[in-house]
Amino acid sequence: MHNARRGSLFQEALEISAWLEADRDRPFDQRLHRDRKIAASISDSDTVDRVRHWWQVVRRETPSAAHDTELATRLSRARVIITFSMLFIGALAGAGASLAVFRYDGTWPINVVTAFAVLVLLQIALIAATLILMLPRIPGLRALQSVLGALNPAAIAAAAYRRVGRQHDQRASLLVLHQARGPVASRFARWQIVVWSQCAAVAFNVAALVCALGLITFTDLAFGWSSTLRFDSEDILRLTRLLSTPWRDLWPAAVPTAELIEQSRFFRLAASAPTAIAASELTGWWPFLLAAVTTYGLFPRCCLLLLAVFRLRAATRNLLLDDPRVRALLDRMNAEEMQLGSNVEETAAAFPDRNAQSAPAMSGDAVVIVWSGALRMPDVAPWTAKHLRWRVVETLEAGSRTIAADAAVIDRVATLQMNPVIVFVRGWEAPLLELQDFIQALRAKVGPQCSVVVVPVGANGDVASESQRSTWSRWTARVGDPALYLESGA
C-alpha cells in the first residue's frame, strides 16, 4: 500500500478514465461492492469531489495504478511547460515592442500615434479576436473560430509540443484545438488555448510597461505626434479626452492638454528636426501612453485570463463527469445496497415481473428495453438481478416491429423517468444503424442526465464473450454519447 499523491484535476481526469477502462475486466458485482463501500465513507456532496475522493482511496488500496497514468503525468507537465513558454514568449515580445516604439536617438521625437497603434490598437484587435474564439460554436462564426484557433500562438505551441514529444495517444489531442474529438474535449481545448494566449498577453503588457518605465526613468525621451491623415490639434484633443475618460479623475496628468498637443506636432518633411521647443516640454505624453496600455491592454487581458481560468476549470470538470466510465462509476456509488440471493429462481421471485406496475423511483431500479429479442421476456428480470444487480420495474420490446412502435417505447420510457435505462442487445450480431438511431431518439426524450446502459447478451442467453464485449464497447464509444456506456455483467 502506498501514499497517493494528489494531482491536478486534469491529470486525475485522465488517470481515472484510464484506470476505469482497465478495471472493466473485474466482475461487475465486485466493482459494485467496492464502489458502494467507498461511497459510504465519503461525506462530500459535490460530484467531482466524490469521484476524486474515490480515486484517492482506490490508489491507496491498489498495488499499482494503470500504465496510462504515465501519459496523464506527461500531459499535465506539458500544460505547465507550455504555460511558462507562453509567459516567456509574451514577455519577450512585449519588451521588444516597447524598446522598438520608444527608441529615441535625440533627432526626431517618438511618434505617439505609432506607439499607441502598436501597444494599444493592435491589442484591441487581438482582444476582439479572442472574444470571438471564446464564443460558443455557432454556424456563422465556426470557420472564423477555426482559423483563429489554428493561428493562435498557444495552439501552435501545443501542436509543436505534441509533435516534438511524439505524443500520439488520442488523449494528447486535448491540448490541440483542431484535433480534439467531441464537444466536451473541444470545449476544454478551446478554453485551454484561451488561457495560454491570455498568459502570453498579460506577460506582453507587463513587460512592455516595465521596459517603458525603465526607459522613461533612466533615459530622456521626447514625444510628439504626426500622421498622414488630416488631423488637426482639435481632433487629437477630442480623441485623447475620450480615450482618457477611464483615468481622467484618477490621474489628471495622463490627460494631454491642448497646449501639449499643439506644441508637440511635427512633420518629417521639414528640413530638420524640431529644435524650437525644449525637449523637457515634449515629455508630457508618457503618462497618457502608460495609462492607455494599462487600461486598454493589461486590464482587459487580466479580466479575460480570470474568466478563461474559471471556464477551463468548469470544462475540466465536464471532461471528468462526461466520461461514460465515470458516469457508470457514479451509478454504482449512488446505488443502495441490496441483499440478493445467488439462486436465479429465488432472485426472480424477489423482483416484480415485466407486467408489474412501476415502483417508486429509487436507487437500484431500472427500466429495460430488449432490442430485437436479445433475451426472452420472462428471463429479463432474473438475468438483470443476477448479472447486473438492478431491479427491473418494467420491460419493453423494441427493434423488431415498426418505427412507430419503437417511438411509443421511447415515449413510455420518458414517462417513467427512470435512471438508468438498460438496453439488451444481441452480442453475437454486429451493431446496426437502426439501433444507433433508436438510442439517439431515446436520448433526445430522456435528457442528457439519464444513463443508458447497453448490455450485449450471448446467443444462449449467457454473458457476452470477450470478443463480443470488445466489439460493442468500440461501437458504444463511437456513438459519442457521454451518458451511454456498456456493461456485460458478472
Q: What is the pLDDT along the chain (490 residues), one digit of tens a residue?
A: 344 456 788 888 888 888 887 887 787 778 888 888 898 888 877 889 999 999 988 888 775 555 556 777 777 888 888 889 899 999 999 999 999 999 887 777 889 999 999 999 999 998 988 888 878 766 677 777 777 766 777 667 666 665 654 454 455 555 555 454 567 777 888 888 889 999 999 999 999 999 999 999 888 888 888 877 777 888 889 999 999 999 999 999 999 988 888 888 876 555 445 544 555 567 789 999 999 999 999 999 999 999 999 999 998 998 888 877 888 888 788 765 444 443 333 333 333 333 322 223 334 788 999 998 889 999 999 998 888 888 899 999 998 888 888 999 999 999 998 888 999 999 888 788 889 889 999 999 998 888 899 999 988 888 888 878 888 888 888 887 888 878 877 6
Question: What is d(CA 254, CA 206) in angstroms, rounded to the nearest whole number?
Answer: 19
Fold classification of 344-486 (topology level):
Rossmann fold (3.40.50)
Is residue 367 within a helix (H) or strand (E), and if so which, with residue range? strand 365-371
Q: What is the pLDDT of residue 343?
A: 39
Q: Please give the distance of CA 1 from its chain centroid, rounded to a whole number.
A: 33
Q: How many beta carbons lie within 10 A of that of residue 255, not counting itself?
A: 19
Question: What is d(CA 106, CA 55) in angstroms, rounded to the nearest whole number?
Answer: 66
Question: What is d(CA 440, CA 443) in angstroms, rounded to the nearest whole number?
Answer: 5
Domain-by-domain residue ranges, the chain? 71-320, 344-486
Question: What is d(CA 57, CA 34) in angstroms, rounded to the nearest whole number?
Answer: 11
User: Using omega within 30 degrees of 0 as the cis cutoff, is the peptide bond preceding 324 cis?
Assistant: no
Q: What are 5's three cell numbers?
A: 499523491
Question: What is d(CA 353, CA 381) in angstroms, rounded to the nearest whole number?
Answer: 6
> How does DSSP classify residue 427?
T
Question: What is d(CA 45, CA 1) in angstroms, rounded to the nearest whole number?
Answer: 27
> How does DSSP classify residue 55?
H
Question: What is d(CA 8, CA 359) in angstroms, rounded to the nearest whole number?
Answer: 42
